[in-house]
Amino acid sequence: MSPPTEMPLPAAEPDEPAPAGIGAEMAQRVNRGTLILVLSTLCFFALNFVGRLATARSVSLTDWGLFNLGVSFTALLSTIILLGLNNAVARSLAHEKDPVEQRKIVRWSIGVSALISAVASVLTYVFAVPIAGVFHDPALAGVLYLLAISVGMGAITPVYAAVFQGYHDVLPNALFNQVVNPAVFVVFVLGLLYLGWGLNAAIVAYVVADVAGLIGCVWYYYARIGRHLPDTVRSRGPPRPELWSLSLALWGLSSLAFVTAYADTLILGAFWSAADVGYYSTAMSLARTLLLGGSTLTFVFLPVAARLSREGAYTALRSAYTIAARWILVLSIPLFLLFLILPSQSVIALFGHRYAAAAFPLQLLAITAFASSIIGPSNACLAGIGRNRAQLTSATLSAATNIVLSFTLIPTYGVLGAAIAWGVARALYPASNLLILYRDYGVHPFRPILVRPLVTTLALAIPLFLLVGYLSPVNWVVYPLFFVGTGLFVAVLIGTNSLVPDDLIFVSGLEAVARRPLPGLRRFVARHYGPV
């Protein structure tokens, strides 16, 4: 299905259609595919975090910085050489009805991605020393020699997953890219670190994990592609030119998003030492956890936004957006309180005392990451509505901001400059998207059902967390405090009557996991409904 076109300002609210409640609509989206994606995303984050945490605690600060610098560079290169082909393949296959043309799309996309992957890996290996020279660290060349193969893996594996995404099959991406890949990384990194491989343990584990993910996707392709494209379907010649033009258009958006996410790390490595990159990567690893709630919710909210905008139900869309933004806070509020008020304890409890210098950058990153969480899933909402040009504009602005601030601040302020550059750029992206949503559709999250529990929770939790910090507790206190913060927010939601009927989406998700109805929980939620 082609993406929806840009929508004008909606008509007056009384004239809008009145579809079923948002909870019912979103509950329909909590199906097997959505649950697989949400759970696999959580699994990917958890396993990847464990692997990186084990690496950070086992190698030197400089080696930890070299690992993150190498991974950031090779991931950027994979994104660039892929040219948005994976996204174009998924969209083209979903839209195309002719099996002959589908066969052309699949055959050519895999062939082209295989060619550019091989060339990119070879070139990365050949030019490893000059690339390391850009970052003024000869030791980086050894890292790039080993990671060269991952450049190709990062370009071809998403294409195999995208083929099945075009047929609405999320399993290969969820299973092999988000579960098998990080699981293999954790197993190998722990085993090789135990054998005393040091930095090479993390790099080899990273490469082996990428290879395992590709092998899984290739196996799935040959085992299952016949269900969508029978062997009797033959094709000659290239696919329609629209595949390549769409690929380039989508490449711009994905590349700009990557620049926003990692340009500051690479620029920091060009001006400062690998040890500084190590401190910054430590703070960034924790700060990104604040964005996890928004990432997992995207799978549910994007199709809902597309459905409601297509029906012209903008009143329902405004309500759905506020509810979605509030759900993100369940995870982000306790993390924000820990990273802002107890940053040293948070860093030391997870990474150890030698990374304590990452505490102040973590505070800066936590503020801007939390601001992004409060704004809500503006990117997913714009994508669902079909405002691709608006997304591209916001992504361009955010990426440019990161680059300009990085080159301005990092040479003088180092890690703190990088934290400011990323934080401003990361908050600017969803904020600029929200401005577009508010201007054209009246969509924003700041309604009583969000503001009321947010303000109340912060008013109660901030003094509590400050008191704990004042008492100078042991570092492991951050673990129970996380659950205290989460429980407090949920309790405030109930105590302030900030639940609404559409909150039954959570119950629907739990029922899908439990495979049985939960009438008692539904009645409990219903007893605490309040005015929107």
Instruction: Please give the residue that has the higher pLDDT: either 4 or 63.
Output: 63
Task: Give the pLDDT confidence score for residue 250 in this predicted structure.
Answer: 66
The mean pLDDT value for 385-396 works out to 83
Average pLDDT over residues 116-126: 94
Asked if 71 and 148 count as a contact pair (C-beta separation under 8 A), the reply is no
pLDDT computed for residue 274 by the predictor: 93
User: Between these two residues, 275 and 248, which has the higher pLDDT value?
Assistant: 275
**Long-range CB contacts (< 8 A, 24+ apart) of 10-14?**
10/312, 10/314, 10/441, 10/442, 11/312, 13/314, 13/315
What average pLDDT does range 264-268 have in this prediction? 94
Q: What is the pLDDT of residue 510?
A: 61
Q: Determine if residue 204 is left, alpha or beta; phi over 0 gives left, psi from -120 to 50 gives alpha, anything else beta.
A: alpha
The pLDDT, as a whole number, for residue 1 is 38
The mean per-residue pLDDT over the stretch 279-287 comes to: 94
Q: How many CB atoms lie within 10 A of CB 471?
A: 8
Residue 315 clears pLDDT 70, i.e. is over it: yes
Cβ contact 84:250 at 8 Å: yes
> Tell me, what's the pLDDT at 335?
93
State mean pLDDT over 122-127. Answer: 95
Of residues 117, 135, 79, the one with CA closest to residue 257: 79
Question: Smallest Cα–Cα separation from 22: which of 302, 327, 438, 321?
Answer: 321
The pLDDT, as a whole number, for residue 314 is 85
What CA dihedral angle connects 390, 395, 396 and 402, to 10 degrees? 150
How far are the Cα atoms of 82, 163, 197, 221, 436 from residue 87, in angstroms, in the given order?
10, 9, 37, 17, 24
Mean pLDDT, range 102-124, rounded to an integer: 91
- Residue 447 is classified by DSSP as S
Which pLDDT score is estimated for 170?
79
- pLDDT at 89 (0 to 100): 85
Domain boundaries, the chain: 59-240
H-helix or E-strand spanning residue 423: helix 415-441
Q: What confidence tens digit (pLDDT) does each residue in 400-422 have? A: 999 999 999 999 999 999 999 99
- Integer Cα distance of 72 and 67 in angstroms: 9
Q: Is 5 exposed, middle or buried (0-12, 13-18, 19+ CB in 10 A)?
A: exposed
Report pLDDT for 18: 38
User: Is the pLDDT at 304 greater than 90, yes or no?
Assistant: no
* 277-288 mean pLDDT: 94
**Has residue 528 got a pLDDT over 80?**
no
Q: Pick left, alpha or beta for residue 499 (phi over 0 → left; psi -120 to 50 → alpha; otherwise beta).
A: beta
Question: pLDDT tens digits, residue range 167-195?
Answer: 878 788 889 999 999 999 999 999 999 99
Percent of the chain with pLDDT over 70: 86
Gap between the Cα atoms of 386 and 402, Å rounded: 26
Residue 17, pLDDT score: 39
Q: Quickly state the pLDDT bin for 506 (edges 50, 70, 90).
A: low
User: In the predicted model, what is the mean pLDDT of residues 283-288?
Assistant: 93
Token readout for 320 is: 């759905």
376: left (phi over 0), alpha (psi -120 to 50) or beta: left
Please tell me which residue, 20 or 248, carries the higher pLDDT value: 248
CA distances from 503 to 157, 241, 312 (A): 37, 45, 22
b/e burial code for range 41-59 (CB count within 10 A of at least 16 → b): bebbbebbbbbbbbbbebb
What is the rounded distance in angstroms from the CA atom of residue 510 to the CA atom of residue 320? 19
Q: Write down the pTM of the prediction.
A: 0.84
pLDDT at 514: 61
In the predicted structure, residue 254 carries a pLDDT above the cut 90: no
pLDDT of residue 416: 95
Mean pLDDT lowest among 207-211, 455-459, 524-528: 524-528
Average pLDDT, the chain: 84
Report the pLDDT value the prediction gives residue 4, as an integer from 0 to 100: 36
Q: Which two tokens stand for residue 245?
A: 């033009």
Q: Is the pLDDT of residue 434 over 90?
A: yes
| Residues paired with 529 in a beta bridge | 499
Task: Please determine, for residue 505, whether its predicted confidence score (pLDDT) is greater than 50.
Answer: yes
Report how far residue 527's alpha carbon sits from residue 381's, in angstroms, rounded to the nearest whole number: 30
**Residue 20: what pLDDT?**
43
Q: What is the C-alpha separation between 196 and 136, in angstroms, rounded?
A: 27
Cβ atoms of residues 375 and 325 within 8 Å:
yes
Question: Shortest CA distance to 521 belongs to which of 490, 488, 481?
Answer: 490
* pLDDT value at 222 more than 60: yes
Measured at the alpha carbon of residue 436, what is the angle toward residues 430 and 440, in degrees to the nearest 5? 145
pLDDT in tens, 27-51: 444 455 566 777 788 888 889 999 9
Residues 6+ apart with CB under 8 A from 46: none
Q: Which residues contact 499 (CB under 8 A, 6 or more apart)?
A: 449, 493, 525, 528, 529, 530
pLDDT for 257 equals 76
Q: How far is CA 61 from the centre of its chain?
A: 26
Contacts 24+ apart (CB under 8 A), 148-151: 148/74, 148/121, 148/122, 148/124, 149/121, 149/207, 149/210, 149/211, 150/74, 150/78, 150/206, 150/207, 150/210, 151/74, 151/77, 151/78, 151/81, 151/117, 151/120, 151/121, 151/124
**Helices then strands, each counted (H, E), the chain:** 23, 0
Comparing CA positions, the residue from 274, 257, 377, 294 lying closest to residue 45 is: 294
The pLDDT value given to residue 79: 82
Query: How many angstroms separate the CA atoms of 455 and 265, rounded?
Result: 33
Which of 166-180, 268-282, 304-318, 370-384 is predicted least confidently? 304-318
The 3-state DSSP class for residue 529 equals strand
